[in-house]
Amino acid sequence: MNLRTVTPRALKLTASLTVAVAAFLAPIALLLVLFLQEQQKAIDFAQRELRGVEMAKAINEAGISLSQAMFQSETSGALTSQLFTSVSDLKRAQARYGNAFSTEATVEQVSEDLLEIAASGRAEIGPVNAIRSKLRTLTGQVGDASNLILDPELDSYYLMDLLIVRFPATQSILDAKAVAMGYFSSENKSNVATDGNELLRVSGGYRVAISQLEDSAASALRHSRTAERLGIFQSEFAEGIRALDRLDTYTRRLSGGSDTFEPKVAAALEWQARKQFHDVSLIVATELSRLLEERIVRLETARNQSLLATSILFTVALIFVFAFLRFRVTKPLKLLTQVAERFVSGDLSEETPLQERGDEVGALARAFERLRIDAAGRLEAEAERASAVAANKAKSSFLAIMSHELRTPLNAVIGYAEILEDDLQGANLAQSREDAARIKGAGKHLLGLINQILDLSKIEAGSMETEAIAYSPAAILQEVADIIRPILETNGNVLALQAAPIHHAFGDPTRLRQCLYNLASNAAKFTNQGVVSLELKQSGDYLLFQVKDTGICLTPEQVGRIFDPFVQADDSTTRKFGGTGLGLAITRKLARLMGGDVTVTSESGVGSIFELTILQYDEAHRANSLNVDHEPKAKDPAIAA
């Protein structure tokens, strides 16, 4: 019995619960989506209108630039670069807004015509009016494609009527007047298709267009919610009507023969009228942009509020559904989940609850109970097996290390003893002394290994004691430096010694010397062609010894276990450098017995730093013995590793 047999029942219950909740909430979600879609449509509608207004502004700028060119051509005979700027602005507006209105071809054609006039340096009424006609067509196309005429709110509807319908109609009347005045500007009247009476007919249509223009302007002001802000529009519009009246009066006098045609006067009157209505159209377009932007913000705020309100209702419905299901399904499943987590963590002591229920939750609980009983038996057998394997592995590792370390010096002792026996028979006394020295060294090495094991055993048994006698920390550090010098020279290392002049302390110099030797000899042994530094400092009530090297670096995982008994950095270290892995373990335990500790930091490519701290006793402690607990005592924060 395992979790795989229980999971399908839990999944079946979860699936049923999910279907029930989804069936309840799906209609609400559908209504929310439909409502938000309608609001988004209104926002998209207003955004499309805003793009149309911006495109219409660019078209009007092109028209006024063309009129300015016409005025300059009639008065000064030279054109400015304004036409090139208008073409750039028109193309930029097309690139930004026009793709949605399918105006690429018309904009390109108008741009070519404007550039042709700019290149010729002369604006003639025929080509100019042809371009004006295309611009009016372009304005109508943008108005239709951007839904400007279908604007749903009155405060902007009449402004859009002015921008898209009435202003272009007025421009059309001005164009007709300009063509009719060609009769008076022509030297050969027989080549002109119109005559002076055409101005009278145009003036009749002009009065109708002006009346409609004034009605639309009045309606725009009447329905505007910000009429006070359109005060400038009123004055500018009135000035535009007066400019149109001046032009109309002048053309009537021409038709009646009471005035003489002056090209510059006619061009100036026409330019004033066109410029004034361009300014009015710019005011209208700016106000429309502001109204549309405010409308978009208002619609987005309403959409967000609707979304928030619906979300709150949706959340309340969810809370109601889940509150209803909590006590019958969710809470029991949570309890069974806790049982499963206890099973995973290995706690199989408690009986599974809810077995008495007759529904799927009860069946799930009874399945868990069968799983618990089955797993308990397996875990007990597995724990016994793991314990036996661990004990056997530890024993094998210890025996493998110790058999190698003890056998090596014993072999040396036996071998050199045999050599010594042969040398003595041959009376080779010098060689005999060397062999005896080797036997002595091998014996000392073997004795050192045995002493390490005995020291560790004493510390673990709590029978290790330390002394409190006077000694010189600086002298001991110097002794250790002298002892390890042969090892340093063998590996081609350099020794750096930096000791503060601390010559009076109380403690156990023998154990301190043992700790320093273990750390320094390791640094010398594991460093090749590098630097080994020994330092002594005073830090509060503590002596701080630092052993630095530029040798083999330790990984974070190795740093975490290097002070464990019978452990070295890895197996390759044991094979290459030998050792039992007891030195650092004994060093840390002795340091803690002396009121301090040993820590290590290691950085790849830099080396390792071992810090040994020892509590320094003063004269008052001289009579006291140092028999301390095994755990490290509290240290000054200044020397914390």
Quickly list DSSP for 214-250.
HHHHHHHHHH-TTGGGGHHHHHHHHHHHHHHHHHHHH
Extract the tokens encoding 458: 């004493």
pLDDT tens figures, 388-401:
777 666 655 665 56
Long-range residue pairs from 100-105, CB within 8 A, at least 24 positions apart, any chain? 100/48, 100/51, 100/145, 100/146, 101/52, 101/55, 101/141, 101/142, 101/145, 101/146, 102/141, 102/145, 103/55, 103/138, 103/141, 103/142, 103/145
Whether 141 has a pLDDT exceeding 80, the answer reads yes
The arithmetic mean of pLDDT across residues 311-334, rounded, is 74
Q: Check whether residue 187 and residue 213 sit in a common domain.
A: yes
pLDDT tens figures, 413-430:
777 777 776 766 666 667
- Range of the structural domain that residue 179 is part of: 3-311
Whether 536 has a pLDDT exceeding 60, the answer reads yes
**Residue-averaged pLDDT of the chain:** 76
Whether 467 has a pLDDT exceeding 60, the answer reads yes
In a domain, 428, yes or no: yes
In a domain, 247, yes or no: yes
- Distance, CA of 76 to CA of 84 (rounded, Å): 19
Which of 496-505, 570-579, 621-630 has the lowest average pLDDT?
A: 621-630
Q: pLDDT: is 530 or 574 the higher one?
A: 530
Identify the pLDDT of residue 640.
Answer: 27
Whether 600 has a pLDDT exceeding 80, the answer reads yes
Identify the pLDDT of residue 463.
Answer: 62
Whether 171 has a pLDDT exceeding 50, the answer reads yes
In a domain, 601, yes or no: yes
Q: Check whether residue 412 and residue 479 sit in a common domain.
A: no
Identify the pLDDT of residue 56.
Answer: 85
Q: Which residues pair with 612 in a beta bridge?
A: 545, 598
Q: pLDDT: is 535 or 450 the higher one?
A: 535
Which of 48-57, 139-148, 165-174, 623-632 has the lowest average pLDDT?
A: 623-632
Whether 613 has a pLDDT exceeding 90, the answer reads yes
- Distance, CA of 530 to CA of 391 (rounded, Å): 40
Identify the pLDDT of residue 641.
Answer: 22
Identify the pLDDT of residue 11.
Answer: 53
pLDDT tens figures, 337-384:
777 777 777 677 778 887 777 777 778 878 877 887 787 777 777 777
Whether 202 has a pLDDT exceeding 70, the answer reads no
458: confidence class by pLDDT, cuts 50, 70, 90: low
Identify the pLDDT of residue 620.
Answer: 47
- Distance, CA of 392 to CA of 314 (rounded, Å): 63
In a domain, 339, yes or no: no
Whether 316 has a pLDDT exceeding 70, the answer reads yes
The arithmetic mean of pLDDT across residues 36-59, rounded, is 85
Helix (H) or strand (E) holding 497: strand 494-499
Q: pLDDT: is 333 or 305 the higher one?
A: 305
Q: Please, are residues 145 and 100 in contact by the beta-carbon 8 Å criterion?
A: yes
Identify the pLDDT of residue 209.
Answer: 74
CATH (domain of 486):
3.30.565.10
Residue that terminates a domain, selected from 458, 484, 500:
458
- Distance, CA of 402 to CA of 395 (rounded, Å): 11
Count CA atoms closer than 13 A to 126's CA, side-chain side: 2
Which of 451-460, 471-480, 525-534 has the lowest average pLDDT?
A: 451-460
Q: Please, are residues 210 and 241 in contact by the beta-carbon 8 Å criterion?
A: yes
Give the pairing type, strands 531-539 and 494-499. Answer: parallel
The arithmetic mean of pLDDT across residues 112-133, rounded, is 82
Q: Check whether residue 436 and residue 479 sit in a common domain.
A: no
547: confidence class by pLDDT, cuts 50, 70, 90: very high
Q: Check whether residue 452 and residue 480 sit in a common domain.
A: no
Count of structural domains within the chain:
3
Q: Check whether residue 90 and residue 232 sit in a common domain.
A: yes
Q: Which residues pair with 378 in a beta bridge?
A: none
pLDDT tens figures, 226-269:
666 666 777 778 888 888 888 778 877 777 667 777 778 878 88
**Which is nearest to 503 in space by CA: 468, 531, 521, 477?**
477
Whether 574 has a pLDDT exceeding 50, the answer reads no
545: confidence class by pLDDT, cuts 50, 70, 90: very high
pLDDT-above-70 percentage for the chain: 72
In a domain, 362, yes or no: no
Which of 75-84, 208-217, 238-247, 351-360 has the lowest average pLDDT?
A: 75-84
Please state the three-class secondary structure of 205-224 as a single string: HHHHHHHHHHHHHHHHHHHC
Whether 572 has a pLDDT exceeding 90, the answer reads no
The arithmetic mean of pLDDT across residues 435-462, rounded, is 66
The arithmetic mean of pLDDT across residues 593-612, rounded, is 87
Residue that terminates a domain, selected from 458, 475, 505:
458
In a domain, 324, yes or no: no
Give me the phi and psi of 20, to 5 degrees please.
Answer: -65, -45
In a domain, 596, yes or no: yes
Residue 79 DSSP symbol:
-
- Distance, CA of 205 to CA of 176 (rounded, Å): 10
pTM: 0.44
Residue that terminates a domain, selected from 458, 479, 506:
458
Whether 639 has a pLDDT exceeding 50, the answer reads no
Q: Check whether residue 469 and residue 607 sit in a common domain.
A: yes
Q: Which residues pair with 36 in a beta bridge?
A: none
CATH (domain of 432):
1.10.287.130
pLDDT tens figures, 13-42:
556 666 666 676 677 777 778 888 888 888
Whether 631 has a pLDDT exceeding 50, the answer reads no
In a domain, 337, yes or no: no
Q: Check whether residue 411 and residue 473 sit in a common domain.
A: no
Q: Which of the residue ranges 58-62, 162-166, 381-385, 403-407 has the most confident prediction, judged by mean pLDDT?
A: 58-62
Identify the pLDDT of residue 449.
Answer: 63
Identify the pLDDT of residue 5.
Answer: 45
Q: Please, are residues 63 and 135 in contact by the beta-carbon 8 Å criterion?
A: yes
Extract the tokens encoding 153: 């709110």
Q: Check whether residue 397 and residue 490 sit in a common domain.
A: no
Q: Please, are residues 203 and 251 in contact by the beta-carbon 8 Å criterion?
A: yes
Amino acid identity, position 299 = L
Helices 360-425 + 331-345 axis angle, to 10: 20
Q: Check whether residue 142 and residue 74 sit in a common domain.
A: yes
Q: Check whether residue 520 and residue 556 sit in a common domain.
A: yes
Q: Check whether residue 281 and residue 408 sit in a common domain.
A: no
Whether 53 has a pLDDT exceeding 90, the answer reads no
Q: Check whether residue 488 and residue 413 sit in a common domain.
A: no
